[in-house]
Amino acid sequence: MKILYLPKKWILAIILFICLGMGTWYVVKPEAVETAGSPAASKRLVINMVTGEFKSQLENGKEIEAYRWDPGTIHIPYDQPVTLSIYGVNGKEHPFFIEGTDVKGTVVKGKETVLHLRFKKQGIYRLICKTHSDISHNGPMIAYLVVD
């Protein structure tokens, strides 16, 4: 039987290398990796909406349609910066305002409208399209922004 003799310095060096290797692995171990965006953008919640349209035909042949924001209800954190991105899919344009605020604009088909919002008061705010305000104008085209 052979006995392997290691000097004390070698044993300490091996232990040191093992500890150093484990420490390095702990610091650089792979976790969730951001694949897009920048650090500044990741701090702001981004909510995406689109304009939508429903069409149908009555028995007498008359065509009816209705427009909507999709999703129709979104939750927004109170007193936090939020980016609301609305992409125009259906309808030529949708002039809008957010009830209870000074926010207004227009969503145009094929274009993105971006709003940077921060609500200082909790509650339910309505995003209302001026063109499609009621049934007689193919609406109401209203989304609910729930701030809590």
Q: What is the pLDDT of residue 95?
A: 96
Integer Cα distance of 88 and 46 in angstroms = 17
Integer Cα distance of 106 and 117 in angstroms = 16
Q: Which residues of 13-47 are buried (b: 16+ CB within 10 A; e: fewer)?
A: eeeeeeeeeeeeeeeeeeeeeeeeeeeeeeeeeeb
Q: What is the pLDDT of residue 39?
A: 52
In one-letter notation, the amino acid at residue 67 is: Y
pTM greater than 0.75 (yes/no): no
Which residues in the chain come in under a pLDDT of 50? 32-33, 35, 41
Q: What is the pLDDT of residue 142?
A: 95
